[in-house]
Chain A
């Protein structure tokens, strides 16, 4: 086959093409060394006026009936903004701080990525705020504790706003939301919730991504051998299998892991007899299916399910699970891996000598407890998924999730 020689015009095309390709090649693949600031990086910018108001409200104990309880009382910085559990089983509340709560205070960090409650494509419940997901947003959640009789115990919106009107930041509140806002209690409450939400979304300490693990993900430091072994145990399906509900890897969009998939699970946590509400043997905290409003009442298959919390700052916490049954993280890990191989260690015996496994649920609902996924897929007498040495490693890893202070 014979072809014409390239024409002058074609040579011109070729030169233009070569230039184009050369420019493109320069752009190709070059200079991708250190990552630019991306998800997980935070800048410590000043709070907006609204968020600044939210911060003052968050720390204001005068907004409670007792005058001694603020939002920060139950979401303390030193415990990763979970309950500090300074006294008793849960945080005390009520008009004279005389009442015990029914559940532990969950951490309010890293909640910006959470969404309203719903069911995913597989029909799995997901999202929502509080242990049972009953609040649809940070804003919605922020308004509830003011009126919980076992928490800040305000009798009415009017009572709360009257307290707000006496606060030193009340003029700033009026400046932000209007001079007459305090004369409209319902509207004022809604603005308080907005301000609290703004604080939670803007304050860098509530989304710090400053843990050792974050620095490891940024490639700035390495983990120690025990920490790395712990991470491997955390991820491995046949070992801890923790990542199944507490994802540890960055998202496809580059986002840093939140260590929760915001799903719900019934774990069969043993009944906490130290909770006053459990003195009644007929009382059971059924979680998702029994939340206020009754919208999940028909879903008996969801009874006993509680929201999967983030494990960020888990090593700072003083109480674990919704009922605070455990106060030691090592004990929590032991429970996870020994619940099924040595149930006698965790549950009481019935008069007939049998083990009352999953005793914080009525017998007819105990089938809801997760017994299929590791590490719960074992039988009495089998080796636990993690040895004591492996639990040490896993603890070492979990301690890398604490934000820098």
Chain B
């Protein structure tokens, strides 16, 4: 992977992201295959730029844009004409079997995502992803079709780019990198599902900077949550407070917009340290009381040798919930004032032969979707929930680049009915 890079100034821009990717790949993270794919894509773009540079140096007339008809999966560097449009995708097929309630066992094509990236020129590209959940989406079926990403990115400076459109929030370890090949366990972890509502995207503008020092900085302004969607009669809010009120840029209420920021440090090979925050008003002048929702997280990932260790803590808060909950008193799911969760995870590359890689892992999680309620008065204030604790033991088995077979056991401390065995098959390209 130690490609010898051109020092040509014109190519220096791309070398930043390429070297970052290589550095991470050398650290042999679990997302290695995914990173390799991205490195290859970058190499393809590099090759294209080399060609264009050669043309410029020969003072040849500038060529018009090549036809964008070639939609091809690029797993190897491709001729420049084919590198402009890249097709990718991932899929996740899961089987869950509760230990004590076999009749509730379920198999599901959880999601299949097709993505298309197109680069208009060396500075500007679009990223799009279309997702189908649960295999069939129709009036009588549970499925859903959604746009997961649709944004334009313009690199206006060697270190800085601007994104506009529908993009994933840069929070936690999983939200922006959520392909099944990129995380351990059949199911995404609870903290980055119930607290950070992956896959969480908003519409807006985002500034992305990659600094010489190893910092990646992201900040912007985006649509936020809609507390008017809170359904106190439904259990959705108890399962994921923010998952119940996100808008996904589908006619999103945007009287009030939100601010977000993230900082990730990758300056030391194999180490990632990061933090993020999101904050915005969420009642959009539809309620008597306004309310601010703030979510933040701290995360770390360290990949020394064969080990892959990660930790994350996230906390959310919703202001003014006393006023908002007053008309909802007595209902099943009142709006919590605070919710949080944390996990620790350790994985180890136990065995590797050819394309076969076996990585057992263990994860401990604690999360609480309603750790505090605002005081409503005697008899009216709901009791805060107890924290659920989950231990997951399992393994990811990669038998081809970008294809993973998963198996794990999950033990719940509070709701033991949820104890289960999970099997999963996923791929990403």
Contacts and interface: CB of A to CB of B under 8 A. Distances in A.
A403 to B, nearest CB: 18
A341 B287 CA distance: 40
Size category, B interface: 35 or more
A254 B157 contact: no
B329 A35 contact: no
A126 interface: no
Nearest to A16: B156
B288 A232 contact: no
A118 interface: no
A240 to B, nearest CB: 8
Contacts of B139: 121
A231 B257 contact: no
Contact of B157 (A2, A14, A222, A232): A14
Size bracket, chain A contacts: 35 or more
B285 to A, nearest CB: 5
Contacts, number: 135
A248 B380 CA distance: 16
Interface in B286-322: 286-290, 292
A35 B220 CA distance: 26
A352 B113 CA distance: 68
A119 interface: no
A3 B12 contact: yes
A20 B157 CA distance: 17
Interface stretch (A83-91, A212-220, A282-290, A377-385): A212-220
Contacts of B158: 3-4, 6, 10
Contact of A243 (B281, B331, B379): B331
B16 A3 contact: yes
Given A218-B288, A233-B330, A10 B160 contact: yes
B332 A237 contact: yes
A247 to B, nearest CB: 8
Interface centre among A33, A38, A243 (most CB of B within 10 A): A243
B233 interface: yes
B337 interface: no
A43 B102 CA distance: 58
A122 B119 CA distance: 46
B159 interface: yes
B25 interface: no
Interface string B383-416: 0000000000000000000000000000000000
Nearest to A10: B157
12 contacts: A2-B212, A21-B207, A32-B283, A32-B285, A218-B288, A233-B330, A235-B330, A243-B331, A249-B327, A252-B229, A254-B286, A254-B287
Interface of A: 1-4, 6-7, 10, 13-14, 17, 20-21, 24-25, 27-29, 32-36, 38, 121, 216-220, 222-223, 225, 228-229, 231-237, 239, 243-244, 247-254
Given A121-B139, A232-B329, 4 more contacts: A29-B258, A33-B290, A232-B380, A249-B231
The 7 lowest CB-CB distance pairs between A and B, nearest first, are A219-B288, A232-B330, A235-B330, A254-B286, A236-B330, A10-B157, A232-B329
